[in-house]
Chain A
Amino acid sequence: MFKMTGALLIASAVVWFGFAAADRLRRRRDFLTAFGTSLTVLETEIEFGRYELKRIFEKLDGSGRLFGFYGICASEIEDKGIKKAWSGAAKKAADAACLNTQDKEAILALGHELGMSDVSGQKKTIERCAALIAQGAQNAESEYARLAKVYRSCGILAGAFVVLMFI
């Protein structure tokens, strides 16, 4: 009985690892896709609305797929300034969304220039970041399509293997 319970526990853990690995890929893909969309809104609001960043961030803070990225920026921008608020939010989001170094650097680079130039400068900066994010989102999508099923299947198979080993 103990052997069986132990086997099931280990098998569950192994399966969970497989699913967690697949979920990490999904989170990165979803974050980058949602972030790319938000950059389009950010650009539009800056170009046509000329709204202050705080107001735009508050407007953008709705998507759960961004792990509260814009909400953090909105709440901290007045006290810390855009660079610190943005980089703080980017680091938190990067951990939550399992972003790789390139994704993180692209987001951080935007924070260094956001709000610091005129509209045309802002447009160029956002477009540059959006191109990198789109590329990252494409990679994340193909990685997810290629590896998510593999991770899940590996988890299930490894779990089954553990159970068989114990029987």
Chain B
Amino acid sequence: MYIATNETQSGRTGAVNVLPSAVRRYMNGINLEEATELRLITGKPFIIRYPDGDYYLTKRSVLSAAPVNTVNITPGMMNELLERITKSSLYSVKDEISSGYITIEGGHRAGVAGTAVTENGEVEFIRNISAVNIRLANEVIGAAEGIMSRIISDGTVKNTLIISPPGAGKTTMLRDMTRSLSYMGYAVAVADERCEIAAMCGGKSSFDLGNLTAVTDNCPKDRAMIMLLRSMSPDVIVTDEIGTSSDIDAVEKIMNSGVAVIASVHGRDTAQIMRRKDMSELAGMFDVEIVLSKRCGAGTVEEIRENV
């Protein structure tokens, strides 16, 4: 089971810092070490989600399983929250908002829900944001320790696919694999379309990704992978949540260029992936498949399968 760092508790740089002042004043003494999400919905109580359940923040600065004397989110608080999340610069995160999330300092991800503004069938923006879900990022140094020997053979990194349901730790695993490979001397390039692996803030990664890691974020991963292949001469390219046919084409191109690919995909197990037509083709391209689950906590390695 992963042990989260206490970064989430940091007042200045953590997720707490973006909360509205009227919520922050009650957060003193609240332990966020095991927390996974902070949920703010206009007109509803502020909820902190832990692995063992949801808790309400009360006006006595304690957590309660029952919604009594709770801190409720007002429209003013929501506006303040958005101003803090966007750092008063909505234009700088417009594309992220269109995708439904904003990466905040510390690598945490604030998912937003509201009224979508569409143009030519594409979501241009989300206005009247009424709900924000801050998913707390965990940096787990050593999460990939047990599997590194399985993905490196004779100094060569194998093409590796991580299969995992949401919330089972695939991004955390990818992040630690990136860090480990980088410190082992491999030039790693990260195509971080959803800004989750590196969580770049102001040009710097929110996590330790090693000394030889280059990141292209906020760019469609198929294009980012090809750009990185051409520009950064990497040994390994790491990317999260592949799924489209263009992703598969890009992965194939990279593998055929002699560069290893480490990627993740949503799924419960290999059998489930193989039932999807496009994915079965994809899975066959990888040398190693690692299946993760939440059975003994996020990051439980269920299976490591090597394709011979």
Contacts and interface: CB of A to CB of B under 8 A. Distances in A.
Contacts of A55: 202
A115 interface: yes
Interface in A99-158: 114-119, 121-122
Nearest to B17: A78
Contacts of B94: 118-119
28 contacts: A46-B91, A50-B91, A51-B89, A52-B87, A52-B202, A53-B87, A53-B89, A54-B87, A77-B87, A81-B80, A81-B83, A81-B84, A81-B88, A82-B83, A82-B88, A114-B88, A115-B86, A115-B88, A115-B89, A116-B90, A117-B90, A117-B91, A118-B90, A118-B91, A118-B94, A119-B91, A119-B94, A121-B91
Interface residues of A, number: 19
Nearest to A51: B92
Contacts of B91: 46, 50, 115, 117-119, 121-122
Closest 5 CB pairs of A and B: A82-B88, A52-B89, A115-B88, A52-B87, A53-B89
Interface string B252-290: 000000000000000000000000000000000000000
Contacts, number: 45
- Band of interface residues on B: 10 to 19
B2 interface: no
B125 interface: yes
A119 to B, nearest CB: 5
Contacts of A117: 90-91
Given A50-B91, A81-B80, 17 more contacts: A46-B91, A52-B88, A52-B89, A52-B92, A54-B88, A54-B89, A55-B202, A77-B87, A77-B88, A81-B84, A82-B83, A115-B89, A115-B91, A116-B88, A118-B94, A121-B91, A122-B91
A63 B26 CA distance: 41
Interface in B64-89: 80, 83-84, 86-89
Interface of A: 46, 50-55, 77-78, 81-82, 114-119, 121-122
Contacts of B90: 115-118
Nearest to A114: B88
Among the interface residues A54, A77, A114, A118, which one has the most CB atoms of the partner chain B within 10 A?
A118
Contacts of A78: 84, 87
Interface in B31-90: 80, 83-84, 86-90
Contacts of A116: 88, 90
A54 B91 CA distance: 13
